[in-house]
Structure 1
Amino acid sequence: MRKTDHLGGITAFVTTAQQGSFTAAAERLGLTRSAVAKSVGRLEERLGLKLFQRSTRRLSLTPDGERYLASCQSALDILDEAEADLTSHIMRPAGRLRVDLPSAFGRRRIQPLLLDIARRYPELSLTVSYSERFVDLIEEGIDLVIRIGELADSSGLVARRLTTQKLVICASPDYLLHHGEPETPEALSQHRCVMGVRRNEPVSWLLKQADGGLVRFTPTPTHEFADGDAMLSAVLAGCGLSQLPLWLVGEHLQSGELREVLAGHSGGEMPISALWPHSRRVLPKIRHVVDELVEAANKGLLD
């Protein structure tokens, strides 16, 4: 059997293990389910081992399959590194870049930069999605994500901090005229509050203490929105107080459409990071886009 056939079987095996089924692997590889299953079968026959435990409901790796998968992934990493070394002189980003962004920040700050890059490099194609959820980059085939907040689990990923999101508590002058201005965090319980919501839970506010430390505080929500632009619209309409990022409300504070309250308590900050799958060499298209995002952040364009 030719070595190229060996490599095809290994690719089919690794993809099936990652996707969890021959059908999903076939979709990822652009082959038929039968072709993938036969390729894995030939590999098992050549090795004299069962790599998958098959049942009518699911595929699972055998102990031999788990050991072989780890070895194959290491070998494929070496091949990826060789390809990256060969193409590292190519400075122009090319190919399809799949990016997942937080909704409001992504639309307002990151998407314009991506569109400018795509305009300057016609060989680059974008697939952009918007979500606030945890994304499995390998499983979902995503090259790059932007996330706001502390990174709870970034194993297997490379993280690069871009900037820091500064938070302020604010309300419309009309709301403050009718409801008054809170003097202490405790007074927030007497006010209508516009809250963000994630996974059906309100997003806590970050409040500064006298010693400079931060505490999480969750007011009783009057209105809940899963989108920053929707929260801003509600606050501008006089629906209540909210803690919002300065990049979102800065122009409205300057124009007087919104007023900051509890200034001594509202200055919490959250990191904004770019994350991509770990490998020995980062692909040129990812490296170029991340470098441009870092440069934009250094110029204050993401604030």
Structure 2
Amino acid sequence: MDRLQSMRVFSKVVEQGSFVGAAKVLNLSNAVVTRHVADLENHLGTRLLNRSTRRMSLTETGQGYLERVRSILIEIDEADAAASAVSKKPAGILNIYSQISFGQMQLARLLPKYSLQYPEVTLDVTMSDRTVDLVEEGFDVGIFTVFQKFDISMVARQLGIAEVLLCASPDYLRKHGRPLLPEDLQQHACLNFSLEHLRHHWSFQSGDGVSTIPITSKVMSNNADLLRHCALAGMGIAMRSSYSLGDDLGTGKLERVLADHHINKISVQLVYPSRRLLSAKVRSFVDFMMTEFPYPDRDPWLAA
């Protein structure tokens, strides 16, 4: 049994939602696709898929195995792509999509470094908070947060996990005091994202569960940079993601409040349409970003 090929077939069956769909995409017969999955299950001694004439679903073992298989296939395909691209020089226009706050506060500092390494690559960067289709809209690579959807067939590499935190200017805290408990926020002006579930309440997680605190929004906006400037101007306490703060905490322009009370975490992912036959320019950018963020399960922005 070609176990690697069986892994590819198994992964494609799940991606397509059927044996027939996988057979069509892989240009194989239905019987061959079925045999690959059966051989894999026999080798492992366990069932990976529950299937009937009408539907198919992963078993619990199959779900865990699929996650490892996809990781293995990504590493193998990217190793092949990297080897074949060694002799190619990154050049041309690299079309990058980025979530706005990440683009403003993180890409803005990283792209000059990338450009020095790859001077023949021209960078065309589009920033937005909307959901985009990378292929349909002509992007080579995108940076998404957990709130933005992308096609599951895309390759996603996690850059880090950002902490959602509260911060305010030293001037605001001198004038209005520092909240010591989440309940103290009821006496403060809050700078808020204009999302319905955040307009009037902020939630905090603890070992005892989730506590929801009523708040008064002084400013609401769908733009994190505007909220940052309002916080810097001393208008109130802002809810921010760590990657959107830049050096504001490190330089003391803003101070974190209620640091012992957890709000939420946001995964940030580098996404691109295919891991096969990547162009040298895309390969160079993917490798650059993964080198800049080598610990995907941490928050590299809060520690910076």
Q: Provide the TM-score with structure 1 as the length reference.
A: 0.61
Partner letter of residue 148 of structure 1?
Answer: T
Q: 1:235 aligns with which of 231, 237, 258?
A: 231
Tell me which residue corresponds to 1:296.
292
Quote the offset at 1:277 in angstroms.
Answer: 0.8
SS in 2 for 1:224: strand
Evaluate the alpha carbon distance shift between residue 257 and residue 290 of structure 1 in structure 2; reply closer, same or farther with a 3 A threshold: same
Contact 1:202 1:224 (C-alpha < 8 Å) held by counterparts: no
Equivalents in 1 of 2:89, 2:183: separation in Å? 54
Tell me which residue corresponds to 2:260.
264
Tell me which residue corresponds to 2:65.
none
- Given the alignment of the two structures, is residue 286 of structure 1 paired with residue 282 of structure 2, yes or no? yes
Q: Any idea what the Cα deviations from partners look like across 1:37-94, whole Å, max 9, x if unmatched?
A: xxxxxxxxxxxxxxxxxxxxxxxxxxxxxxxxx97997xxxxxxxxx79963434222
Contact 1:171 1:242 (C-alpha < 8 Å) held by counterparts: yes
Equivalents in 1 of 2:206, 2:163: separation in Å? 16
Point out where structure 2 has 5 or more consecutive residues left out of the alignment: 1-22, 28-80
Point out where structure 1 has 5 or more consecutive residues left out of the alignment: 1-69, 75-83
Q: 1:169 aligns with which of 166, 169, 173?
A: 166
How many pairs does the alignment contain?
228
Contact 1:202 1:218 (C-alpha < 8 Å) held by counterparts: no
Evaluate the alpha carbon distance shift between residue 145 and residue 214 of structure 1 in structure 2; reply closer, same or farther with a 3 A threshold: farther
Equivalents in 1 of 2:186, 2:164: separation in Å? 19
1:1-303, aligned counterparts within 5 Å? Answer: 88-149=85-146, 152-197=149-194, 202=198, 207-210=204-207, 219-249=215-245, 251-266=247-262, 268-298=264-294, 303=304
Contact 1:214 1:268 (C-alpha < 8 Å) held by counterparts: no
Partner letter of residue 128 of structure 2?
Answer: S
Equivalents in 1 of 2:300, 2:194: separation in Å? 27
Quote the offset at 1:248 in angstroms.
Answer: 4.4
Q: Any idea what the Cα deviations from partners look like across 1:238-276, whole Å, max 9, x if unmatched?
A: 111112233444744344433322121146432111001
Quote the offset at 1:221 in angstroms.
Answer: 2.6
Contact 2:192 2:227 (C-alpha < 8 Å) held by counterparts: yes
RMSD: 3.8
Partner letter of residue 226 of structure 1?
Answer: N
Evaluate the alpha carbon distance shift between residue 214 and residue 126 of structure 1 in structure 2; reply closer, same or farther with a 3 A threshold: farther
Quote the offset at 1:223 in angstroms.
Answer: 0.6
Equivalents in 2 of 1:157, 1:206: separation in Å? 32
Contact 1:169 1:243 (C-alpha < 8 Å) held by counterparts: yes
Q: Any idea what the Cα deviations from partners look like across 1:83-127, whole Å, max 9, x if unmatched?
A: x79963434222221101122321332233333333432332221
Larger-gyration structure (1/2): 1
Identity %: 30
Equivalents in 2 of 1:164, 1:243: separation in Å? 16
Quote the offset at 1:169 in angstroms.
Answer: 1.1
SS in 2 for 1:138: coil
Q: Provide the TM-score with structure 2 as the length reference.
A: 0.61
Partner letter of residue 171 of structure 1?
Answer: A
SS in 2 for 1:181: coil
Quote the offset at 1:288 in angstroms.
Answer: 1.5
Partner letter of residue 177 of structure 1?
Answer: R
